Every structure is written in C-alpha cells, then in structure tokens.
C-alpha cells in the first residue's frame, strides 16, 4: 500500500506540475543562461504553426547496455489502476486537461501558431495479469522500433538530459525504459546588445549522460542563432554553404568524433515549412539552398572522420500537401541515414485550435511519399509527436497511434514523444491519468525496444531487430 500511495503521489505531482520552466546554467564551456535558450525553444514553436494551423500539425546488430539502474516500479497494469484511483473513471475515457502557463515573459505567447521546437541546447501493490498485446491483422508487418522522449522540466524542475532524473520520472509513468533521449541545440547565441556571438560546442556532458544511462542520444542541431527569429540574415543557408561557419562546424564535428559513440544527428528539421530560419521559404533562402547547406555540413563531418554520426533528415508532416516539395529538399541517399517526420494532433486546444485528427490522418500521406518515392531504402524516425486533450480522447489517440505504428508503418524505426508543455499546448503524456495509463499500456508492446546502445564503429545506427 505504501508503494501504491507513493506512486499515486508521483502521478498527482506530475499532473499538477506547471509549465513554467525553471532553467539553470549549462556546462560544456559556454556561460549562457539556459532560460534564454528555453525562450529560444518556445519562440521557435511559435513560428512553426504559421502554415501548420491549416493542417493540424507541423507540424546490424544492436547491443543492450548493461547499466545498473532499476527497472521502473510499475508497468501498464499499475499505471492503469492508478489512473482509476486518481480519477474514479474509466482510464480509457478522456481525462482532464492540463494547460500550464507559458514561460513568463516569453514573446508572442498569446499568438502561438500551430507547430513544436528546438529546446535548450548547451549541455506495486501486486500487478494484475497483463492483457496480451493485440496481434495485427494477417499480412500486416510488425516492426521493432526505438522509443523515447524530449522531456521538459515539469517532472523535476529541469529538463533532460541536464537532469537525467527527469528521464527516470518519465519512465516511472510509462512503465518501461526508454531507448532514445532527444534534446536541442542551435549554432550560436548572438546577444541583441551587439556583443559577439557565442557558439555552442558539442555537448559532450549531456551526450555522455544519456549514453551512460543506457539510451541513444538524439541531438537536434540547427543552423541558427538565439534569440531566435524567423529572419536571421547572418544565418541564411547560403552562409553555411559559403563556409562562413566552417571553423565552428569542423570543431563541433571533431568533438563529436572524439566523443566516439553513436548518436542520431537531426539537423535542420522541418525544412519543408517556413517557420524556421533554415526553411527555403524563409530568411531569404532560395531553392536548392537547403540541400547545398546539408551536404556542405555533412562533408565536413566526413572529412574529420566523424563516422559515429547517424544523419536524420526530418521534414514536417504534410497531410494536405501545402508545404515545400520533399523530393527537392532531399540531400540524397549518400547524405542521409534515416528519414523522419514530426507531427502533432493540435485538436481544439484554445492555445492554437485546429481540429481533431487521427494519427493516420496526420501521418499516412507524408509517410507514404517518403517510403515509396523519396527515400524507400531508409528507416524513418518520428522526431516529435504529441496530442492535446482538447477536442477528443487523448488516451484513445495515444492507444491507436502506438498500435498503428508498428503494425502498419514498417519503415518507422523510432519514435520520440514531445513530453514538454509549450505555450498552453498539453503535449506530455502525464496531462491526465487516462492519457498516462493509455501510453503505459500501449508502450508495453514488445515492438517498442527498451534501453539500447549501438556499439561504436558500426557506422549508421541500424533499426532495432
């Protein structure tokens, strides 16, 4: 009973947690205020939805690492029973919504467009019998995939990976160990005071924290400065291609090589939209600039021998076909190891209302375009995904999505849930007991691989087998 009481208290705390991030300075040799980086993250989210408001989103052996850390104390059954205890309701029914306030002072918070973001950068009671995992209809392939999250500060007061306790808290809710942890970093911090820019070094400390924990790092790295703006004339794609930042990129790539462990590098994601300064429809960028810049950066990493990097090309979902043509933005198979997709169910959240859309409605068309035409030989990573509570049942949405992915989307080899509050958008799984319970139940499928590490020297990270 004491364990159950403690667990209930943990879920209750998570549900009550606000969305105001309490940031602290980061390490890795650059004295930059992490709160400033958080404002960067949220301001980027602002611009993502300018076009996406109309589409409802923006949007080979593997080796398990033997890490001495405890398995999460509960599984799907415990999470579900706690959901009932917390709400007194069917855990499959829509739960209460949590829409914490935005970060104080965040510019444009009242007018956030529909799309998510770079985050900061720098550094049981007795379980009930488990329901069997549903078997997909005959003829539908079942894939295995890595899974994890981008985890905000709502669980511990600090974001992962600067506080890996946030990952442990997330795992307690999910009832399973993650195999991926994502975080974000821009090129530079350029103060509005006119002081020189400070460039972010390769984040060795947080990367090592993730690896030692037993997960694979995903670094979402963007060719921009903070404070973020849609127009950044000193960080156009042509500047990257012309060599303006070659010394910085080479130093970053060399540090990545010297760290020596495999990781995913999700560079300049959601490039098919115009909400980021690296999109071809923004910041003075011209057709062809994205591919040229990507290849230029990739070539520098190749020159220094950073072959522990797995390159992820990750556009935004485009269910209505209104964004830039994906084929024209694809750098080529020799420059890409994995493809990706980002996309959210914005529902009717008043912070940025669209309409309620299923996972298939959001993802299927763009997935097929990539899997059949653009890069049919590449595995695919869902780099950001989430759903609001507003407008439908978040629990049912999660259950359906996590069942559909391994059953009907065989190219998908990884999934990263955006477990972060963002300007009133309630993306985390812990926004209600029903949502948390649904996620914990669905993620128990053996298709979702736990704690993993890929051995150095294998080249690009392969999908799990």
Does any domain span residue 456?
no
> CB-based contacts of 285: which residues, under 8 Å, 6+ apart?
236, 237, 238, 278, 279
Which helix (H) or strand (E) segment holds residue 381: the answer is strand 380-387
Please answer whether residues 92 and 396 qualify as being in contact, where contact means their C-beta atoms are separated by less than 8 angstroms. Answer: yes
Residue 458 has what pLDDT?
Answer: 62
CB atoms within 10 A of CB 110: 10
Residue 273 has what pLDDT?
Answer: 97
The single-letter DSSP state of residue 209 is H
Residue 459 has what pLDDT?
Answer: 77
The single-letter DSSP state of residue 375 is -
End-to-end CA distance of the chain: 39
Please answer whether residues 254 and 306 qualify as being in contact, where contact means their C-beta atoms are separated by less than 8 angstroms. Answer: yes
Percent of the chain having pLDDT more than 70? 68
Does any domain span residue 455?
no
Span 26-46, mean pLDDT? 43
The single-letter DSSP state of residue 17 is -
Does any domain span residue 6?
yes
- Check pLDDT > 90 for residue 182: yes
Does any domain span residue 90?
yes
Does any domain span residue 378?
yes
Comparing 346 with 116, the larger pLDDT belongs to 346
Three-state secondary structure call for residue 149:
strand
Residue 40 has what pLDDT?
Answer: 47
Per-residue pLDDT tens over the stretch 346-357: 999 999 999 999
d(CA 116, CA 45): 4
Where residue 98 falls (left for φ over 0; alpha for ψ -120 to 50; beta otherwise) is beta
Span 237-246, mean pLDDT? 98
pLDDT band per the 50, 70, 90 thresholds, residue 453: low
Q: Could you tell me the two tokens for 396?
A: 């049912």
Please answer whether residues 42 and 106 qualify as being in contact, where contact means their C-beta atoms are separated by less than 8 angstroms. Answer: yes
Does any domain span residue 454?
no
Q: How many domains is the chain built from?
A: 1
The single-letter DSSP state of residue 107 is T
Q: Could you tell me the two tokens for 142?
A: 């079942």
pLDDT band per the 50, 70, 90 thresholds, residue 17: very low
d(CA 195, CA 57): 37
Per the listing, tokens 């996309």 go with: 343
Strands 338-345 and 216-226: unpaired
Please answer whether residues 427 and 386 qualify as being in contact, where contact means their C-beta atoms are separated by less than 8 angstroms. Answer: yes
Please answer whether residues 318 and 392 qualify as being in contact, where contact means their C-beta atoms are separated by less than 8 angstroms. Answer: no
Per-residue pLDDT tens over the stretch 264-299: 999 999 999 999 999 998 999 999 999 999 999 999
Q: Looking at residue 123, which CATH number applies to its domain?
A: 3.20.20.80
Among the listed ranges 68-82, 428-442, 444-458, which one has the minimum average pLDDT value?
A: 68-82
Does any domain span residue 329?
yes
pLDDT band per the 50, 70, 90 thresholds, residue 65: very low
Among the listed ranges 46-50, 87-91, 215-219, which one has the minimum average pLDDT value?
A: 87-91
- Check pLDDT > 60 for residue 338: yes
> CB-based contacts of 195: which residues, under 8 Å, 6+ apart?
none
Does any domain span residue 458?
no
- Check pLDDT > 80 for residue 103: no
Nearest CA among 242, 234, 310, 324 for reference residue 275: 324
Nearest CA among 95, 31, 41, 44 for reference residue 438: 95
d(CA 199, CA 148): 28
Residue 194 has what pLDDT?
Answer: 84
Three-state secondary structure call for residue 296:
helix
Three-state secondary structure call for residue 318:
coil
Among the listed ranges 74-78, 222-226, 341-345, which one has the minimum average pLDDT value?
A: 74-78
Span 45-65, mean pLDDT? 42
d(CA 424, CA 109): 9
Give exposure, 353-384, as e/b (b: 16+ Cβ within 10 Å): ebebbbbeebbbebbebbbeebbeebbbbbbb
The single-letter DSSP state of residue 63 is B
The whole domain housing 70 covers 2-132+140-449
Residue 456 has what pLDDT?
Answer: 56
Three-state secondary structure call for residue 233:
helix
Comparing 109 with 435, the larger pLDDT belongs to 435
Q: Could you tell me the two tokens for 198?
A: 């400070």
* Average pLDDT of the chain to the nearest whole number: 78
């Amino acid at each position: 009973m004491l364990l159950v009481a403690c667990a209930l208290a943990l879920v209750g705390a998570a549900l009550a947690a606000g969305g105001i991030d309490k940031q602290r300075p980061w390490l890795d040799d650059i004295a930059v205020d992490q709160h400033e980086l958080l404002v960067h993250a949220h301001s980027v989210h602002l611009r993502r939805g300018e076009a996406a408001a109309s589409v409802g989103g923006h949007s080979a052996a593997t080796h398990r690492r033997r890490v001495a850390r405890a398995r999460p104390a509960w599984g799907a059954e415990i999470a579900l029973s706690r959901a009932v205890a917390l709400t007194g309701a069917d855990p499959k029914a829509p739960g209460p919504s949590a829409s914490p306030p935005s970060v104080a002072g965040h510019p444009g918070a009242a007018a956030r467009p529909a799309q998510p973001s770079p985050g900061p950068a720098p550094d049981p009671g007795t379980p009930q019998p488990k329901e069997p995992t549903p078997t997909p209809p005959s003829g539908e392939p079942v894939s295995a995939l890595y899974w994890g999250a981008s985890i905000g500060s709502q669980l511990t007061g600090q974001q992962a990976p600067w506080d890996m306790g946030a990952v442990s808290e997330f795992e307690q809710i999910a009832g399973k160990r993650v195999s991926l942890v994502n975080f974000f970093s821009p090129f530079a911090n350029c103060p509005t005071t006119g002081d020189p820019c400070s460039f972010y070094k390769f984040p060795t400390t947080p990367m090592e924290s993730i690896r030692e924990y037993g997960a694979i790092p995903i670094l979402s790295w963007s060719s921009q400065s903070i404070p973020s703006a849609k127009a950044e004339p000193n960080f156009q794609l042509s500047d990257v291609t012309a060599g303006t930042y070659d010394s910085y990129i080479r130093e970053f790539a060399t540090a990545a090589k010297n760290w020596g462990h495999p990781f995913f590098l999700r560079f300049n994601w959601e490039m098919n939209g115009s909400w980021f300064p690296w999109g071809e429809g923004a910041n003075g960028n011209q057709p062809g600039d994205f591919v040229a810049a990507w290849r230029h950066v990739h070539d520098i990493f190749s020159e220094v021998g950073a072959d522990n990097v797995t390159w992820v090309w990750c556009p935004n979902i485009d269910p209505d076909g209104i964004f830039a043509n994906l084929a024209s933005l694809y750098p080529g198979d020799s420059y890409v190891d994995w493809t990706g997709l980002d996309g959210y169910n914005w529902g009717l959240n008043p912070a940025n209302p669209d309409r309620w859309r299923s996972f298939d409605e959001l993802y299927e068309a763009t997935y097929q375009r990539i899997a059949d035409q653009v890069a049919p030989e590449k595995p695919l990573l869902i780099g950001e995904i989430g759903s609001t509570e507003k407008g439908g049942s978040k629990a049912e949405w999660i259950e359906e999505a996590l069942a559909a992915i391994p059953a009907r989307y065989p190219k998908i080899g990884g999934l990263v849930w955006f477990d972060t509050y963002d300007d009133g958008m309630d993306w985390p799984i812990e926004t209600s007991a029903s949502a948390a319970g649904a996620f914990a139940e669905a993620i128990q499928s053996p298709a979702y691989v736990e704690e993993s590490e890929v051995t150095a020297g294998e080249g690009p990270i392969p999908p799990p087998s």
